[in-house]
Structure 1
Amino acid sequence: MVLAEYFRLLALSGNPLIDDPRARPQLAAQLYSVVDAVLGAPTTVAAPPAGAPRPDVLSETIGRTRATAGLNPSDSLKAAGLIFQAALPTVAEHHPDGVAAAALALNRVIMQRMAVAAFGYGQRLLTQAHDSSQEERRRISRQLHDVAAPTVAVALQSLELHGIYAQDDPERAGGKLDAARAAMETVGTLVRELSAELRHHVDDGGLVAAVQAALDAVPSAVRTSLQTAGPVDALPAAFAEETFLVVREAVRNAVTHAAPTAVTVELTAADGLLTVTVTDDGAGFDVEAVRAGERHVGMDSMGERAQLLSATLDVHSEPGIGTRVVLRVPSGAQGR
């Protein structure tokens, strides 16, 4: 049977899609769709399940769901190649124009399905990136609304009270002036921090310089260090920018939520792989509990950017032992 042979080849190749309960029905449906398209009509060779979606809808859905699940697109490409290997003997047997015509038709249909799936995959990643950017803007807006605006209000009120007390109670008036000054210093610090976040990006200085600038903006109470090995700045600009944003988010999460005394970033380029490690000695957290809970903007943002890079992202942490974030950007994103 064609389906049994296809699943056997997937398992033999170690393709992780065969073990994914969400992917298996899609693998079967796509196989049936390809065979039917080559032979011109549904046949008993590979009978599709009732209510199967149109081929274009099926392929785009496959692309979107695999992007959402964080599955590597290379696994989908390999799975598509195995459709050809599994289906060719049976398709050639039933094709009216012989083996060569069957092979050409089978290859054409698979390529068409792959193109549509790739479009769906890319569209989903673009949507996730847009959502991540929206969350970043909302976070900055909340900082301005919840911290900056009330603090400015306190400063203004203190200045008004200073004017009221200036004639009759100079000492009290002086205290209000000090309170206004302190409030405005707090607002100034917040605005500078937000401005630095928005300004830092990868430009002609490269990834290393951008990461160092982000670490330089960390409060002085936190020790920071950057270690590099290999041709780190060989990463193309677009990939370097997304990699930097993951690093910046990991550092920001540590400083904002974990109260660390030290944060270290390591960038290592070797054998066509860029490995980024961000380590802190802060409070740590239960990774699984956070993933099982409500949306966590920081972790979600890093995960979505990793998908854009076809990279893997691992977060290791436990309460009381700090956190280590590891991003591995594959050779396909490396410069030559």
Structure 2
Amino acid sequence: MLAREVHDRIGSGLALALRRLDMLETTAAGSDPDAAERLRQVRAAVVDVLCATRQVTSALRDSPPAAAGFSVEDALRSFVRAMEISEPHVDLRVDGMDGLLPATVADAVFLAVREALRNAVAHANAGHVAVHLTWDAGELHASVADDGDGFDPATVARRGSTNGLLGMRERIQAVGGVTTVTSAPRRGTRITLWVPVKERNSRHV
């Protein structure tokens, strides 16, 4: 009930605002570049809130990630569907890990990849986002790569605007893994995760 109310009342209103911003941004692009840039920034903020709203809706409807047999692939595909976006196009590929990861690893990887994906959708101004996860020989590798605006990681760190990235690093570090961020202005962004996984057939830690 609560999930439906959040989706219908808040999510639908934000989606409508987003469509109107898209139309305004298109109109302003040819006549006032400064206004178009301001509208783009507002649009990014609306997308961010919309993604967060749909993230909450999905969490209210779904079982908690750390449940036994939790499928990272199913959870990520559910999140992509819940965002209900047509752009950027999200290409999700998962190999060799369905329901077999230790619970704490599955939880950390899902939350970190979800945050990277949400950031790419909300802030990168990308046309395409590729998400790839694979587990082989005791190692899990994941990447979220977009063809968007990109950024200078050092500059962002100095501004103190890295809470999302810091949260990803901390989650992955807590399960013994490493997070790498590669980005540059106008060259897109790639976030990669590496996590050691010792017990292939264990569903619990």
Give distance in 2, aligned partners of 1:192 and 1:313. Answer: 26
The Cα of 1:283 is off from its aligned counterpart by 0.9
Question: Aligned pair count?
Answer: 153
Structure 2 counterpart of 1:193, one-letter code: R
**2:92 is equivalent to residue 226 of structure 1:** yes
Match among 315, 318, 325 for residue 184 of structure 2: 318
The structure where helix makes up a greater share of residues is 1
Higher relative contact order (CA 8 A, sep 6+): 2
DSSP 3-state at the match of 1:217: helix
Aligned in 2, Cα 1:314/1:217: closer, same or farther, shift over 3 Å? Answer: same
Q: 1:207-259 deviations in whole A, cap 9, x for unaligned?
A: 11011111222312221111122235321122101110001100111111111
1:91-135 deviations in Å (ceiling 9; x for gaps): xxxxxxxxxxxxxxxxxxxxxxxxxxxxxxxxxxxxxxxxxxxxx
Q: Deviations over 1:135-188 (max 9, x none)?
A: xxxxxxxxx9xx98xx9xxxxxxxxxxxxxxxxxxxxxxxxxxxxxxxxxx9xx
CA distance in 2, matches of 1:221, 1:257: 12
Q: Is the 8 A contact 1:273 1:334 kept in 2?
A: no
Separation in 1 of the partners of 2:55 and 2:143? 24
C-alpha RMSD of matched pairs (Å):
2.8
Q: Is the 8 A contact 2:70 2:106 kept in 1?
A: no
Cα separation, partners in 2 of 1:318 and 1:235, compared to 1, 3 Å: same
Report matched runs for 1:277-292 at 5 Å: 277-292=143-158
Partner of 1:247: 113
After superposition, the Cα gap between the structure-2 partners of 1:334 and 1:273, relative to the gap in structure 1 and judged at 3 Å, is same
Report if aligned partners of 1:277, 1:326 keep a CA contact under 8 Å in 2. yes
Q: Does 1:264 align with 2:126?
A: no
Take 1:294 and 1:332, find their aligned partners in 2: how far apart are those partners? 35
Go from structure 1 to structure 2 and tell me whether the alpha carbon gap of 1:333 and 1:316 turns closer, same or farther (over 3 Å shift): farther
CA distance in 1, matches of 2:102, 2:57: 23
TM-fit CA distance, 1:194: 4.7
Return 5+ residue gaps in structure 1 as ranges.
Answer: 1-143, 152-185
- Return the match for 1:294 from 157, 160, 166: 160
| CA positional deviation for 1:334 | 4.9
Q: Which runs of 5+ in 2 are unaligned?
A: 1-9, 18-45
Structure with greater strand share of residues = 2
The two structures have a TM-score, normalised by structure 2, of 0.65
Q: Deviations over 1:298-321 (max 9, x none)?
A: 111101101111100001111111
Structure 2 counterpart of 1:193, from 54, 74, 87 = 54
Cα drift, residue 332 of structure 1: 3.8
Structure 1 counterpart of 2:71, one-letter code: G
Q: Secondary structure at the match of 1:238?
A: helix
Identity in percent:
33
Which 4+ runs in 1 deviate beyond 6 A?
Answer: none
| C-alpha distance in structure 1 between counterparts of 2:199 and 2:181, whole Å | 21
Deviation at 1:195, TM superposition (A): 2.8
What SS does the corresponding residue of 1:282 show, helix, strand or coil?
A: coil
Structure 2: distance between partners of 1:236 and 1:286: 35
Q: Against the structure 1 CA distance between its residues 217 and 264, is the aligned structure 2 distance closer, same or farther, given a 3 Å change threshold?
A: farther
Distance 1:198 1:297 in 2: 21
Residues in 1 aligned to 2:79 and 2:148: alpha-carbon distance in whole angstroms: 18
